[in-house]
Structure formats: structure tokens, C-alpha cells
């Protein structure tokens, strides 16, 4: 049975003026005059999964109802899933009106944990440190026997759930598949082939160009097959959503025959409801906070040296470091070598609302871009929540990158190149002088409203309607 044509049932949402990075939005409060657009959202990461990967789809689904879109979510049964981190608190953000269908899965991670005695790997193996012989062998197996990734075992269960819905007479105007894991995109590819669904492929990260791709030790045949899957997805999807301009340029360079209008930069953002708490910067210290996963690949060793030098030069300014989340063993060693261990606090993974609270209890926020090839398009999702916290941002990374452009556009800081220790020290000296005058370093006029999750959901609705 053919799917309904969204163009015949829905009017495009109006948008306001555009900025250099992402669109501004005008919210429509009128009563809908047409049936809601029925969107099928397929995502592996969903509450109670925690971490950065779950936020995008969760926040889309949370706000799509305001734009006359009725989402149905297909995800994995949490009891069978392999999430690196959990956050039960996020379940409360799923609207009661949204149907969530959970399925079985077939994955090899239980064998991985038994063989290594380690938890499920984070993206980029951030929680593994230097791999041993067994881990290298398992990475080879993962890169060559599980293409695109080990969570592909979920696909047949997700497809069966969709087929059951369609067999029962349900119809959807569009389907959105979100990745990583990029194997999820193969679900959308198959649904496109079988049923001709209008398909939005949402890629939160690059695919074969992700910075840790080389660590998977693909054989030429495996690399060819993975690249073929990537090419099929980018070619067959009706629209491709990416989170940064550089990622759009990367994909278009691979397939220049594709129209650029097919690719939409829809960045991550922040949820205004998460920032109803008041800012509480400490009065007794200049506290620099980093949230999320960080390893030695982020190359903050020169910044650590600059912090130590500035602290020695200004003993009247009590510098403090706080890392909330996963910190690699090697990076902890760098902190110790810089002489900062006594002024550094390490806090394990916390629920999302607590993470926001830590942002608001800081003087300055630290983010870093991994020092890897093709890192100009890496735009961590946390940067938008950093902006919403209205704090100065120390960003260690390449000048001229998407992250650098965003921070300068919003007046929250600039990129500090990895080797430019002098610029890092100058920046810290300025912050120390400001702190001596007033310990509250909050920025009163950071321009970040264009990155609200609700507004971005409105943009997604507009794209889906236009398919």
C-alpha cells in the first residue's frame, strides 16, 4: 500500500532570518489545520541510555509535537541493550503521548566483556586506554566481521517491528534513522527498498572518516564494503542530516554528483527546560569544568601546563579543575605531571540534570577537540549546553574549525590551538584578572537562542514536511 504524500497534507513551517551557522526559528502557535505528520524514529540509543548519543533523538521527540508531528519510536529493549552509560532520569523526558516500541537484539558484547573483563567500549574506545594484544585482536574482529558495527544484530529485530506495524495497516509519512551506530542507517536503506518510505538519514558523526576508524584495522575488503554501505545510504536517503558544516562538506566531497540541498546542517543544541536553575559560580575559586569523556587524544597537555604556570604566578587566584565523566588513565597522568592533581576533582558519570548543575557551578568551561585528522567538523554536543550556561569557554582545538566559528559567533570564546601555550596563558591571565575584580565570570550576552532544542525540532519538522 503506498504511503501518504506529506506534501499533499502538510504546509511548510515558516522560519525567520538565518544566521551564519544555523537558522533562527519562529514558533507557530496556531491550531493545526492538517493531520499530524507521522514520523517513525529508529534509534538504538534511547532512555535509559545515558551520555551524549541519546540526547538528539530524545529532544527531537520531546518537542516535535509542537510542530504537528506525531513520532513513533522504535528502539532496543533496555534489558538487552549494551549502553556504555545509563541515565534513568531521562525517561521522564519522554512525552506520555509518544509510543515507544522496544525490540530484542542480537549482539556480541557479552562475549567481549567475558574475554576482556572490561565494560562496553565508548565511542573511540575512550574508556580502554592503550590496547593490549587481546583488545587489538578484538578490534580487528569488530572491524572485519561486524560491518558497519557490532550492533547490526539489532537490525533484523527493528525491521520485524516495522513490518508488523505496516502489516497491521499503519502508515508513516517519513522515517528517521539516527546513528551511530551507523548500522542503524541500513534499516532505513532496507525500508526504502521494500516500501519506498521517505527517509531522513541523521548522522551525528562521520562514518568511514571518524577519527578512530583506523583503530578498527579493516582489511581492504572490509573497508570497501563499509564505504559501499556509506555511499548507498548517502545516495538513497531523501535527506541527510548532519551536525556541522564541515561534515556536510566531507560527504559532498565523497559524492559530488549529489545535490547539496539534500544535506541539511541541523546541529545539536540545548533544552531550555534544562537550564531553569540559576547560575552559581564559586566565589572562593576559579573553577574550570569539563563534562563528558576526554582522553590524551584531546591534547590538552599544553593547557594544563599553562594553568599550572598561571596558578604559580597568581597565588591569590585559586585555580581549580573539575572533570565530570570519563577521564583516561593517560590524561590523569598528564594532570599529575603538570602538578595539578591536588587541585583537580574527578567525578564519575552523573545523570544529565546533575551534569547541567555542574556547568552552572563553574567559573569557566573546558572543551577540547581531539587532535586527529579531519577534526575541523567535530562539534561536540556539549558545546551548546556550555553556551546555554553563559560561561567563558576554553576550547582547545584548531583555529578556523566549526567549533571555533561557533564560539566566536556567540561571543563565548575562541579556539586555542594545541601548540599555542602562549595564547592559552594569555587567555588564562585575562580570566584571572577578571576573577580578581569579580569572581562571577558569567557572560551576560551569549547569543545562543538559535540552538534551542525546540527550535531545532521545528527545523526537522520543516525538512520532513518538504520531502
CATH number at residue 182: 3.40.50.2000
Shared domain for 247 and 286, answered yes or no, is no
- Give the pLDDT score at 136: 65
Bigger pLDDT: 130 vs 65: 65
Residue 61 lies in a domain: yes
User: How many other CB atoms are there within 10 angstroms of residue 200's CB atom?
Assistant: 24
- Give the pLDDT score at 450: 86
pLDDT exceeds 90 at position 446: no
- Cis link prior to 180 (omega < 30° from 0)? yes
Shared domain for 308 and 360, answered yes or no, is yes
Shared domain for 33 and 176, answered yes or no, is yes
- Give the pLDDT score at 34: 87
- Domain with 335, as residue range(s), is 274-448
pLDDT exceeds 90 at position 128: no
What order of strands is seen across the sheet that includes strand 393-396? 344-347, 319-324, 286-291, 364-368, 393-396, 415-416
Shared domain for 336 and 456, answered yes or no, is no
Contact 377, 370 (CB under 8 A): no
pLDDT tens column, 9-68: 333 333 333 333 443 333 444 445 689 999 999 999 999 999 889 999 999 999 999 999
Residue 336 lies in a domain: yes
Cα-Cα-Cα-Cα torsion 310, 313, 316, 320, nearest 10 degrees, comes to 30
In this prediction, residue 374 has a pLDDT band, given cuts at 50, 70 and 90, of: confident
Q: How far is residue 409's CA from residue 267's CA, in Å, rounded to a whole number? A: 15
pLDDT exceeds 50 at position 460: yes
Contacts of the segment 12-15: beta carbons below 8 A, 24+ positions apart: 12/462, 12/465, 12/466, 13/67, 13/458, 13/461, 13/462, 13/465, 15/458, 15/459, 15/462
Shared domain for 195 and 329, answered yes or no, is no
Contact 403, 379 (CB under 8 A): yes
Contact 39, 71 (CB under 8 A): yes
- Cell readout for 363 is 567559573
pLDDT exceeds 70 at position 141: yes
The number of folded domains in the chain is 2
pLDDT exceeds 60 at position 109: no
Q: Are strands 23-25 and 15-18 parallel, antiparallel or unpaired?
A: antiparallel
Portion of the chain with pLDDT greater than 90, in percent: 78
Shared domain for 134 and 200, answered yes or no, is yes
Shared domain for 187 and 200, answered yes or no, is yes
pLDDT tens column, 222-270: 999 999 999 999 999 999 999 999 999 999 999 999 999 999 999 999 9
Shared domain for 381 and 257, answered yes or no, is no
Shared domain for 289 and 207, answered yes or no, is no
Q: Which of 142-151, 216-225, 422-431 has the highest mean pLDDT?
A: 422-431
- Give the pLDDT score at 114: 45
Shared domain for 96 and 196, answered yes or no, is yes
Residue 228 lies in a domain: yes
Portion of the chain with pLDDT greater than 70, in percent: 86
Residues in CB range of 101: below 8 A, 6 or more apart: 72, 73, 74, 75, 161, 165
- Give the pLDDT score at 245: 92
Look at 125-129, 200-204, 231-235, 435-439 and tell me which has the smallest mean pLDDT.
Answer: 125-129
Residues in CB range of 423: below 8 A, 6 or more apart: 416, 417
Residue 115 lies in a domain: yes
Q: How far is residue 185's CA from residue 178's CA, in Å, rounded to a whole number? A: 7
Shared domain for 151 and 123, answered yes or no, is yes
- Give the pLDDT score at 142: 74
Q: Which residue has the cell 599544553?
A: 302
In this prediction, residue 336 has a pLDDT band, given cuts at 50, 70 and 90, of: very high
Residue 174 lies in a domain: yes
Mean of pLDDT values over 392-418:
95
Residue 150 lies in a domain: yes
> Whose CA is closest to 322, among 293, 307, 294, 343?
343
Mean of pLDDT values over 441-450:
82
pTM listed for this prediction: 0.84
- Cell readout for 85 is 552509560
Look at 107-121, 166-180, 195-209, 396-410 and tell me which has the smallest mean pLDDT.
Answer: 107-121
Contact 204, 53 (CB under 8 A): yes
- Cell readout for 360 is 552552572
Backbone angles phi, psi at 440, to 5 degrees: -90, 105
Mean of pLDDT values over 427-444:
96
- Give the pLDDT score at 145: 81
Q: How far is residue 384's CA from residue 386's CA, in Å, rounded to a whole number? A: 5
Shared domain for 220 and 298, answered yes or no, is no
Residue 1 lies in a domain: no
**Mean pLDDT, the chain, as a whole number?**
88
Mean of pLDDT values over 132-142:
68
Residue 289 lies in a domain: yes
pLDDT tens column, 165-185: 999 999 999 999 999 999 999
Q: Which residue has the cell 579493516?
A: 218
Amino acid at each position: 500500500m503506498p504511503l501518504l504524500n506529506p506534501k499533499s497534507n502538510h504546509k511548510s513551517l515558516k522560519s525567520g532570518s538565518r544566521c551564519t551557522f544555523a537558522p533562527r526559528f519562529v514558533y507557530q502557535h496556531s491550531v493545526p489545520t492538517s493531520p499530524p505528520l507521522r514520523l517513525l524514529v529508529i534509534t538504538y540509543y534511547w532512555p535509559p541510555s545515558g551520555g551524549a548519543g541519546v540526547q538528539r533523538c530524545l529532544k527531537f521527540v520531546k518537542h516535535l509535537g509542537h510542530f504537528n508531528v506525531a513520532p513513533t519510536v522504535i528502539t532496543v529493549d533496555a534489558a538487552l541493550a549494551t549502553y556504555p552509560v545509563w541515565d534513568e532520569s531521562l525517561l521522564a523526558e519522554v512525552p506520555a503521548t509518544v509510543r515507544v516500541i522496544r525490540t530484542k537484539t542480537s549482539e556480541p558484547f557479552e562475549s567481549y566483556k567475558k574475554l576482556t573483563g572490561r565494560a562496553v567500549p565508548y565511542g573511540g574506545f575512550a574508556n580502554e586506554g592503550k590496547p593490549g594484544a587481546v583488545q587489538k585482536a578484538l578490534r580487528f574482529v569488530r572491524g572485519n566481521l561486524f560491518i558497519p558495527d557490532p550492533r547490526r544484530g539489532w537490525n533484523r529485530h527493528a525491521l520485524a517491528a516495522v513490518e508488523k506495524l505496516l502489516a497491521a495497516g499503519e502508515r508513516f509519512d517519513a522515517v528517521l534513522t539516527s546513528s551511530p551506530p551507523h548500522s542503524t542507517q541500513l534499516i532505513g536503506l532496507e525500508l526504502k527498498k521494500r516500501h519506498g518510505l521517505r527517509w531522513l538519514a541523521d548522522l551525528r558523526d562521520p562514518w568511514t572518516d571518524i577519527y578512530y576508524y583506523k583503530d578498527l584495522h579493516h582489511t581492504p575488503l572490509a573497508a570497501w564494503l563499509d564505504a559501499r554501505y556509506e555511499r548507498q545510504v548517502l545516495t538513497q536517503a531523501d535527506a541527510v542530516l548532519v551536525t556541522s558544516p564541515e561534515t556536510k562538506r566531507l560527504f559532498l566531497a565523497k559524492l559530488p554528483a549529489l545535490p547539496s540541498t539534500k544535506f541539511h546542517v541541523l546541529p545539536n543544541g540545548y533544552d531550555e527546560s534544562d537550564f531553569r536553575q540559576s547560575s552559581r559560580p564559586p566565589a572562593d575559586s576559579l573553577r574550570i569544568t569539563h563534562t563528558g569523556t576526554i582522553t590524551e587524544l584531546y591534547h590538552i597537555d599544553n593547557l594544563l601546563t599553562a594553568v599550572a604556570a598561571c596558578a604559580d604566578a597568581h597565588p591569590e587566584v585559586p585555580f581549580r579543575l573539575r572533570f565530570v565523566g570519563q577521564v583516561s588513565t593517560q590524561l590523569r597522568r598528564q594532570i599529575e605531571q603538570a602538578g595539578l592533581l591536588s587541585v583537580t576533582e574527578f567525578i564519575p558519570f552523573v545523570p544529565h540534570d546533575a551534569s547541567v548543575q555542574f556547568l552552572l557551578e563553574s567559573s569557566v568551561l573546558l572543551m577540547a577537540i581531539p587532535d586527529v585528522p579531519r577534526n575541523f567538523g567535530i562539534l561536540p554536543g556539549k558545546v551548546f549546553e556550555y553556551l546555554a550556561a553563559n560561561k567563558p569557554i576554553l576550547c582547545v582545538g584548531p583555529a578556523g574549525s566549526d567549533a571555533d566559528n561557533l564560539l566566536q559567533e556567540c561571543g563565548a570564546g575562541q579556539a586555542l590551538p594545541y601548540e599555542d601555550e602562549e595564547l592559552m596563558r594569555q587567555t588564562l591571565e585575562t580570566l584571572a584578572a577578571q576573577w580578581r575584580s569579580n569572581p562571577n565570570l558569567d557572560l551576560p550576552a551569549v547569543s545562543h537562542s538559535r540552538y534551542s532544542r525546540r527550535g531545532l525540532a521545528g527545523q526537522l519538522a520543516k525538512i520532513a514536511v518538504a520531502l
